[in-house]
Structure 1
Amino acid sequence: MLEEFVDGSISTRGYPFPGTSELIIEYINNGHYVVLITTATDVTESISLKGPMLEIMIVPSRIRARSRALDLFAAERAGVKKAILNSNADVVHAHWTYEFGIASRASKIPTLVTVHDWGPAIARHNRHLYWYIRAAMQVWCLLIPGELSAPTSYLAKRVTKIYRRKCSVIPNGVDLSGRIEPDLGRTAGSVGMLNVGFTAGKNVRSALMAWRLVQKTHPTTTLHLAGPDYAVGGPAHAWAIKHGCEEGVVFEGPIDPRERSAWYRDKEIFLHTSREESFGLVLIEAMAAMTPVIAGKSSGAVPEITLGAARLIDIDNPKEIASHLVQLLESTDERSRLSSLGSAVAKQYDRTAVAKNYLSILHDLSSKPLSGPSA
């Protein structure tokens, strides 16, 4: 995330959420000074870098997830709160509940907390103590009074129903520049997947089993797996080898945020087998790149955000995944149709309009005009 703003000055990438970067660009374009506060597990002390319109503050985070979770991210929350207070911010836009939302509320500075996921659903899919603790932290955050927003009505309705709180719906925004026409400049027979983590919730195992079936009839096709845990020698690679699913799979690992758009544009199909999405930024990014999308018909907010422009299937059925992949790989017309539909839907998520909606709320929250530092 941070490389988009600072080239070569720091080695860490901070918290892996590109949506923050997109918003910051627009906030700066609107004339606001922004303080970006993030956490990173690969730094041991706080770092601060200042520019004309942007300051980046990086707070150390403990490497072991167990250590962070067992005390409810106490050190991380304290670090984020301290950074917020040191920023002299007029108003705070906190992304994610958990340590960021809780620390922002604790600062007593007017704060908008954006609810980007639904903790109980994530815990249900992953069934691990860490995620149950995260879900409890979300409950803690949402019980604290203050302004809330969510990127989909799927999330906002749950917040309103359970917590009896107003929750504005503002979708995540994407950069819509650099699109190309369908099937031009793409690698033939290539399917892309981009995920953060090789978890049960991301369900990439089903995709790998499906790919083994695709390879039987289309041996020259390639499945490109990108994101943390998807490098050669990583968890996904090890699982694929163990289960005989590595044939025709390219394990790319993390990709530079600045290369994401080109990465999507190179693929003939984007496959997303996640069991739970509260928004699904990667789906919008793929549609903006005019790459046909296959995703889960019961995967949270996926039907809401794709608006009929994606092929929605049972992503827990490897045979069904394989069948739809083969159909799309063999049909130029169907890929073109989905590309055009996806492009039209993606226009609704233009980051400029999204930023203006957020700035309207932040302006109302702030006790003074947003002309000085803001976080």
Structure 2
Amino acid sequence: MTIGVAGPIELRILDWDLKDTSLPQTNAFPLTSHFINALLKRGFKVIAYTNSTEIAEPMVLESGNLKVCISRQKPQPGRRFFLFEVEDMRKMMVAHPADFISAFWSYEFAWAALKTGKPTVVSLHDVALQILRKIPDMFRLVRWMINYIVVSKADFLLANSVYTYNQLDRKTKSKTRVIDNFYPSTLEQRLSATAQKGNYIITVAQGFTQRKNIENGLQAFALLRRQFPDLEYYLVGVDSEEGGLAQQYAEKQNLTDGVRFMGPMPYDDVFKLIQNAQVLLHPSREESFGMVLLEAMVARTPTVGGKASGYIPHLLNYGKAGLLSDVESPESMATEVGRLLSDRDLYQTLAHAGYTYAEENFSEEVIVRKHLDYYSEVLGRDLKPVVQQPDKPQKVA
């Protein structure tokens, strides 16, 4: 059985011999790479389909049981309805066929997969209509239109959380199964046994948008500094680099004291910062899942998230695996972070509870098994790996 996986893929964290070679920059999403690694570890042959703006011609890379097919992406794809990108990827899928395709996100990657006629399951990691309502611009309109085509044509859908599922219409729900996101088994191997907590809290967010709500995070930290004058605030992710939108806002509001604007960083470096942080503050107003919170739970870094921020309350077990706050109120966020910094017993309790809840509900072993069982159901037969599953997980550098 050869399983195809289509979506944004971080090539440098794939479990293959080429991770240290010169690789083109791709539209990266770590979860897709972790899923590919999990399939390889279980003995499946995998063909991954992704794209890049850095290549002039389609590229195919192979290592062991993994083949990566990289198609082209041209500038400003939304203006062309992603038609070039969809067709270029479709051709790659036909030239390098898999028995079955798992497509991440309901956009161009899934559209290309559906055009091949191969059995395809499309994973929904957001709800395009909700995003369009919150960010009503032409790009999100195009994304919603592609999502409409994909969801209408797909026979099998996965929602990454009950929150995502509950936002779907009745017809879409009828062909959708809920399977949560997961953290990779290798994440615990990345934990440093000698790590020590630094005197900082951290927020990891991709974008300085109304949805990510970094403004209120900065205001909450300014309140925290009155109680903890030596505490620092690390901002990591797109738009949080020096000179970026987050710093521009902070300077205008006189909120830069103690703030380090770190911007985008490699996955492993971000995880180390999370492990060494006192608290992960997640001021986002809405999340379909919340992967960074899950990673913090595995790292035993207590978290503070929004009590009405999409799936976040469920992910934090309604306050039992992390504290919940009103993200519209900087005072509320500052209060909850301050509780963790001031109460060592509470801190240790939540660190342990967060890890336990993550392990029992969102581990690779639990979630990937659900995927494979569902794929077997879709295909009407058992999925047979090409090699025996190794006794020990392969280490991802």
2 CA distance for matches of 1:125 and 1:187? Answer: 36
Give 1:26's aligned residue.
38
**3-state SS of paired residue (1:344):** helix
Residues 1:12 and 1:87: Cα distance change in structure 2 (over 3 Å) = same
Contact 1:296 1:313 in 2 (8 A): yes
Moved more, 40-49 or 227-236: 40-49
Q: TM-score of the superposition, structure 1-length normalised?
A: 0.91
Identity %: 26
How much has 1:13 moved relative to structure 2? 4.1
How much has 1:229 moved relative to structure 2? 2.1
Contact 2:120 2:154 in 1 (8 A): no
Contact 2:122 2:154 in 1 (8 A): no
| Structure 2: gaps (5+ residues) | 1-9, 388-397
How much has 1:192 moved relative to structure 2? 1.1
**3-state SS of paired residue (2:71):** strand
How much has 1:360 moved relative to structure 2? 2.2
Give 1:113's aligned residue.
122
1 CA distance for matches of 2:126 and 2:153? Answer: 17
Tell me whether 1:280 sits opposite 2:293 in the alignment: no
How much has 1:11 moved relative to structure 2? 4.1
Q: Deviations over 1:304-341 (max 9, x none)?
A: 22213121111121222222222222222221121111
Residues 1:51 and 1:11: Cα distance change in structure 2 (over 3 Å) = closer
**3-state SS of paired residue (1:159):** coil
Give 1:256's aligned residue.
266
1 CA distance for matches of 2:86 and 2:386? Answer: 24
Contact 2:121 2:154 in 1 (8 A): no
Find the partner of 2:29 among 14, 17, 21: 17
Q: TM-score of the superposition, structure 2-length normalised?
A: 0.86
2 CA distance for matches of 1:3 and 1:181? Answer: 20
Tell me whether 1:231 sits opposite 2:244 in the alignment: no
Find the partner of 1:362 among 375, 384, 393: 375
Give 1:243's aligned residue.
253
Moved more, 210-219 or 302-311: 210-219
Q: CA RMSD in A?
A: 2.4
How much has 1:164 moved relative to structure 2? 4.7
How much has 1:287 moved relative to structure 2? 0.6
Q: Deviations over 1:143-169 (max 9, x none)?
A: 113111112112223335253532111
Contact 2:233 2:259 in 1 (8 A): yes
Letter in 1 for 2:363: D
Residues 1:196 and 1:39: Cα distance change in structure 2 (over 3 Å) = farther
Letter in 1 for 2:128: G
Tell me whether 1:87 sits opposite 2:96 in the alignment: yes
Moved more, 337-346 or 158-167: 158-167
Contact 1:209 1:245 in 2 (8 A): yes
| Structure 1: gaps (5+ residues) | none
Give 2:159's aligned residue.
150
Contact 2:316 2:323 in 1 (8 A): no
2 CA distance for matches of 1:34 and 1:324? Answer: 44
Find the partner of 1:311 among 320, 323, 332: 323
1 CA distance for matches of 2:340 and 2:65? Answer: 45
How much has 1:60 moved relative to structure 2? 2.4
Letter in 1 for 2:45: Y
Residues 1:126 and 1:206: Cα distance change in structure 2 (over 3 Å) = farther
2 CA distance for matches of 1:168 and 1:210? Answer: 38
2 CA distance for matches of 1:33 and 1:229? Answer: 37
Moved more, 142-151 or 91-100: 142-151
1 CA distance for matches of 2:195 and 2:176? Answer: 41
Give 1:186's aligned residue.
197
Match runs of 1:26-175 below 5 Å = 26-63=38-75, 67-159=76-168, 161-175=170-184
Letter in 2 for 1:239: Y
2 CA distance for matches of 1:155 and 1:162? Answer: 14
